Amino acid sequence: MSTFSTQNRVIGHWIGGAHRASTSGRTAPVYNPATGAVQAEVALADQAEIDAAIAAADEGFRTWSAFSIAKRQTVMFAFRELLNARKGELAELITSEHGKVVSDAMGEILRGQEVVELATGFPHLIKGAYSENASTGIDVYSIKQPLGVVGVISPFNFPVMVPLWFAPIAIAAGNAVILKPSEKDPSAALWLAELWQEAGLPAGVFTVLQGDKLAVDGLLHSPVVQSISFVGSTPIAQYIYETASRNGKRVQALGGAKNHMLVLPDADLDLVADQAVNAGFGAAGERCMAISVVLAVEPVADELIAKVTERIAKLTIGNGAGQDGVEPDMGPLITDVHRDKVSSYVDIAEADGATVVVDGRGFTVEGHEDGFFFGPTLLDNVPTTSRAYTEEIFGPVLSVIRVESYDEGLALINSGEFGNGTAIFTNDGGAARRFQHEVQVGMIGINVPIPVPVAYHSFGGWKKSLFGDAKAYGVQGFDFFTREKAITSRWLDPATRALGDQGGINLGFPQNN
């Protein structure tokens, strides 16, 4: 397997089981976020390359879907072992293009690997059912079959974990996958493609199509592509859902979030402060499950803010690759454009009357002055009418809002347009149980700040955080990537047929008498 180096090259596609250079003439820069330098260019597919990717995937599907379950399972186990052996290499590749700390990149891989491990047990999850003698001499049974060619459109913040939420399940079920990764960190997708090939996956079953909106629309409008799985912002998720649905496709489109942490007065504030920092600033806040709002039920806000501020002061920010074997706590943001957008939300909050307790604007790292860094930021008394509260910031900005009661905090969470993740911190089991019942959010943590479900459950929110037919991975993932046939079967017994016990003319609707 090759070792990836993106320096001074154009990152192309993976089509028909091989690297394919682009002839479109269109590219986009790939940065090293820690230095701000362009380290490569990524191809942006034209229509001919989109068509070639889809055709190769369609051919791969016809081959792969004919493989026995036993042979497909062998490939899944081989992929799992290869990924486990080489995950360190992959983590470094993620950091080089995304900027996140290597240990955080490793955590991303391990969470994706959980889904790979679930997928190795796929035979049990794609079984049909059988009812013998449902009517006299008639058996009814069901079988599950793959959809065909399926599209996966993944975001920049998890270039490995999100593709692994979908691709292993889709492939195990017999489908062929076309992955359209983010243009900002495209190399991990090619690394995965090489690994799939080494594991024994036939050519065309895993395709990487680099590109922008043209590539996305090519997948959305193709009659060959049967489903779309997407993770990204809510406006794009809604566009994906509406466009793909109009074209008759299954869709799971996971959108944005504004996740709240409700802190009751009886909570352990040291635990709360630790977890607010972890969940607010981990991965530089560039994750849809980040906690971005702390709802502090008075009188705990002042003490909690002091504890969070104390912890922020101890954080180290720098190149995610580390130096002399020592990693920082937090790396840079993905681009300078995104860094400036995050900064603008702090400007908005301040203009709307919020107090900037810790200011991350203008943050620089010595020796990396051109990197896309933004320091951890803590805001107090953010008005709930401010765009800094209502919109997803997707950066290391933690807002504190003071509320007078559990009911006031719950009402704020439930009134938001998003419903992705939320958490409550309390030592009161009754309050926690009431919260999990009353809150209108898809994923809930009780004294857990980032409640990402394990692989055998499913990931997805409510409201404008999820559009489509199914959540990601778990049993819902296998249901999404298969379709069921119900078969009613009768085999005539020649002996009873000769006696006239079967057959005859009856134009009425079939009945079970």
**Whole-angstrom Cα distance, residue 244 to residue 242?**
6
* Share above pLDDT 70 across residues of the chain, in percent, rounded to a whole number: 96
pLDDT digit string, tens, across residues 472-511: 999 999 999 999 999 999 888 777 666 665 666 778 777 7
Q: What is the pLDDT of residue 513?
A: 66
Query: With b meaning 16 or more CB within 10 Å and e meaning fewer, what string describes 15-54?
Result: bbbeebebebeebbebbbbbbbeebbbbbbbbeebbebbb
Torsion of CA 469, 473, 479, 482, to 10 degrees: 100
Q: Taking residues 199-223, report their average pLDDT.
A: 98
Alpha helices in 439-512 (DSSP H): 474-480, 494-498
Q: Is the pLDDT of residue 176 over 50?
A: yes
**Whole-angstrom Cα distance, residue 421 to residue 466?**
11
Radius of gyration of the chain (CA): 26
Question: How, if at all, do strands 138-146 and 129-135 pair?
Answer: antiparallel
Q: Is the pLDDT of residue 6 over 80?
A: no
Is 288 catalytic? The answer is: yes
Tokens 């459109």 sit at which residue?
153
The distance from CA 206 to its chain's CA centroid, rounded to whole angstroms, is 18
Q: What is the pLDDT of residue 9?
A: 87
Q: Which of 303-312, 398-407, 493-502 has the lowest mean pLDDT?
A: 493-502
The reported pTM is 0.94
- Say if CB 42 and CB 210 are below 8 A apart: yes
- Compute the Cα dihedral for 483, 83, 60, 244 and give only its sign: positive
- Helical axes 234-246 vs 213-221, angle rounded to 10°: 30
- Say if CB 332 and CB 95 are below 8 A apart: no
pLDDT digit string, tens, across residues 76-101: 999 999 999 999 999 999 999 999 99
Q: Is the pLDDT of residue 233 over 70?
A: yes
Residue of 244, 288, 305, 333 marked catalytic: 288
DSSP letter string over 306-349? HHHHHHHTT--B--TT-BTTB--SB---S-HHHHHHHHHHHHHH
Tokens 């039920």 sit at which residue?
297
pLDDT digit string, tens, across residues 332-359: 999 999 999 999 999 999 999 999 999 9
**Total Cβ atoms within 10 A of residue 401:** 21
